[in-house]
């Protein structure tokens, strides 16, 4: 009890020793010795006493973290997510609901391309790893968008009327080179994007797959452009939807060349370059990869699905449509007239009329009653 009383007296003495300015809490004034210890860059302001009374579990407004502005990589990835998510839905709608099953190969590949780019942009937004996502998927996206071009070229070939097929078996060679280019580009991108490998440890063998894949993609583009030019020459023999698609392919070909050049620049560039594989300039990637591919996708979607099929019989372009082949005959053998099918003109230009029967004089009334005819 005595200790408590002593502690109470000492507490009262300590309070009385403090200056009156420290006890003026309601006015929020600081002590004179506290005012002199401010730095030159700091400012003091008279604040209300309620500003410093915070409830438990809350932090003062000055200590709350501010949101940092988005980086260029995140901004580009967000734009890709918004764009390719929309185009993926439109492509799937054309593929499943609106287009004839005969032309499914075109918008099916386009939906696959949009899905790959959407996954790439989502990885960048989620992890911020530009090397692991963008560089690996950029080469794959370039190969897949060339597969989209292959699908539309087959659609153009199917829409031809009164003309033989332009796309022969030679196109299979370019499709095979496209598959190999896609494979080499993907494998080389995975090797170069390995975080355990640094620029100083990279050798020429690491860039070999990427270089081979980019060259194969360029060769494939040249072959597809040649077949597209041949199909464009026969545009007048296509259905109406095929003519519109032929014009779209002709406009999209120059834009398709820009991502291929970007992929080759990344494959053949080394350190201290804006196309350096592990440190690609985001603005170069936006203007040479995203924008041209977006223009190509918009052009293909604006062409619309193909629902009208060619109904005329195919054959040799030199022969008339719908005519059966004539069998060869020997020197002393009469031609088989039944083997030659000569269709009647429709509508007929003229119709042969049979000659009228010879005129027969009708008997007179006297002859009918038995009287002889007067001479």
DSSP 12-39: HHHHHHS-HHHH-TTTTPPPHHHHTT--
- Report percent pLDDT > 70 for the chain: 52
What pLDDT band is residue 326 in, cutting at 50, 70 and 90? very low
How many alpha carbons fall within 13 Å on the CB side of residue 367? Answer: 7
CA angle 118, 284, 177 (to 5 degrees): 65
- Specify whether the CB–CB gap between 235 and 243 falls below 8 A: yes
- Specify whether the CB–CB gap between 236 and 197 falls below 8 A: no
Nearest to 280, CA basis, from 256, 293, 262: 262
| pLDDT tens, residue by residue, 113-153 | 999 888 888 877 776 555 556 667 766 788 888 989 988 88
Integer CA distances (angstroms), 189 to 122, 211, 212, 278, in order = 18, 10, 12, 10
Q: Evaluate if residue 330 carries a pLDDT over 70.
A: no
Average pLDDT over residues 192-207: 63
pLDDT value at residue 221: 92
pLDDT value at residue 349: 53
113 contacts: CB under 8 Å, gap ≥ 6: 141, 144, 145, 147, 148, 297
At residue 160, the 3 state secondary structure works out as: strand
pLDDT value at residue 189: 79
pLDDT value at residue 328: 46
What pLDDT band is residue 8 in, cutting at 50, 70 and 90? low
pLDDT value at residue 204: 65
Kindly tell me the sign of the dihedral angle through the C-alpha atoms of 256, 106, 220, 243.
negative
Q: Evaluate if residue 234 carries a pLDDT over 90.
A: no
What pLDDT band is residue 293 in, cutting at 50, 70 and 90? very high
Structure tokens at 237: 């023999």
Structure tokens at 340: 């030659």
Burial of residue 111 (CB within 10 Å: 0-12, 13-18, 19+) is buried
Q: How far is C-alpha 40 from the chain's CA centre?
A: 58
* pTM assigned to the model: 0.63
Give the separation between CA 311 and CA 254, rounded to whole angstroms.
Answer: 32
pLDDT value at residue 283: 85
Nearest to 264, CA basis, from 277, 245, 279, 278: 277
- Specify whether the CB–CB gap between 308 and 97 falls below 8 A: no
| pLDDT tens, residue by residue, 78-126 | 898 999 999 999 998 888 887 777 777 788 889 989 998 888 888 777 7
- Specify whether the CB–CB gap between 270 and 276 falls below 8 A: yes
Mean pLDDT of the chain: 71
Residues for the chain: how many in total? 375
What pLDDT band is residue 172 in, cutting at 50, 70 and 90? confident
Left, alpha or beta for 111 (phi > 0: left; psi -120 to 50: alpha)? alpha
Instruction: Please tell me which of 67-76, 209-218, 305-314 the model is most confident about, judged by mean pLDDT.
Output: 209-218
- Report percent pLDDT > 90 for the chain: 12
Which domains occur in the chain, in start order? Answer: 72-303 (1.20.1070.10)
Q: Evaluate if residue 340 carries a pLDDT over 70.
A: no
Give the separation between CA 271 and CA 273, rounded to whole angstroms.
Answer: 6
The kind and range of the H/E element at 277 are none
Give the separation between CA 142 and CA 121, rounded to whole angstroms.
Answer: 15
99 DSSP 8-state letter: S
290 DSSP 8-state letter: I
Tokens 């019989």 -> residue: 313
* Residue 283, phi then psi, degrees to nearest 5: -75, -35
| pLDDT tens, residue by residue, 244-278 | 889 999 999 999 999 999 888 888 877 677 777 66
Give the separation between CA 34 and CA 283, rounded to whole angstroms.
Answer: 52
| pLDDT tens, residue by residue, 359-372 | 666 666 666 666 66
DSSP per-residue letters across 211-261: HHHHHHHHHHHHHHHHHHHHHHHTGGGB-HHHHHHHHHHHHHHHHHHHHHH
Give the separation between CA 173 and CA 171, rounded to whole angstroms.
Answer: 5
Tokens 């020429």 -> residue: 204
| pLDDT tens, residue by residue, 13-34 | 555 555 554 545 444 444 444 4
């Amino acid at each position: 009890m005595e200790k408590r009383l002593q502690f109470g007296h000492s507490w009262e003495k300590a309070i009385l020793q403090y200056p009156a300015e420290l006890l003026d809490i309601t006015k929020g004034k600081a002590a004179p010795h506290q005012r002199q210890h401010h730095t030159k860059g700091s400012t003091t302001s008279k604040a209300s006493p309620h500003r410093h009374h915070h409830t438990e579990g809350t932090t003062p407004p000055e200590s709350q973290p501010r949101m940092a502005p988005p980086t260029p990589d995140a901004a580009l990835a967000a734009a890709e997510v918004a764009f390719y998510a929309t185009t993926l839905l439109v492509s799937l709608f054309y593929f499943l609901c609106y287009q004839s099953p005969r032309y499914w190969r075109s918008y099916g590949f386009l939906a696959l391309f949009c899905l790959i780019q959407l996954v790439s942009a989502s990885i960048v937004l989620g992890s911020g790893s530009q090397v692991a996502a963008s560089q690996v998927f950029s080469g794959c996206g370039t190969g897949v968008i060339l597969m989209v071009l292959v699908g539309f070229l087959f659609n153009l070939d199917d829409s031809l009327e009164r003309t033989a097929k332009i796309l022969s078996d030679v196109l299979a060679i370019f499709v095979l080179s496209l598959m190999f280019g896609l494979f080499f580009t993907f494998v080389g991108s995975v090797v170069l994007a390995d975080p355990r490998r640094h620029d100083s440890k990279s050798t020429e063998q690491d860039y070999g797959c990427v270089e081979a894949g980019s060259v194969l993609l360029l060769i494939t583009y040249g072959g597809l452009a040649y077949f597209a030019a041949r199909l464009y020459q026969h545009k007048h023999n296509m259905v109406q939807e095929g003519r519109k698609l032929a014009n779209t392919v002709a406009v999209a070909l120059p834009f398709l060349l820009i991502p291929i050049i970007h992929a080759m620049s990344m494959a053949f560039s080394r350190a201290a370059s804006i196309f350096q594989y592990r440190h690609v300039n985001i603005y170069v990637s936006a203007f040479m990869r995203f924008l041209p591919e977006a223009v190509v996708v918009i052009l293909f979607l604006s062409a619309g699905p193909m629902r009208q099929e060619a109904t005329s019989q195919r054959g040799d372009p030199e022969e008339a449509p719908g005519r059966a082949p004539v069998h060869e005959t020997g020197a002393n053998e009469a031609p088989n007239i039944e083997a030659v099918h000569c269709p009647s003109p429709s509508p007929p230009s003229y119709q042969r009329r049979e000659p009228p029967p010879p005129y027969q004089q009708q008997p007179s009334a006297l002859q009918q009653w038995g009287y002889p005819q007067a001479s």
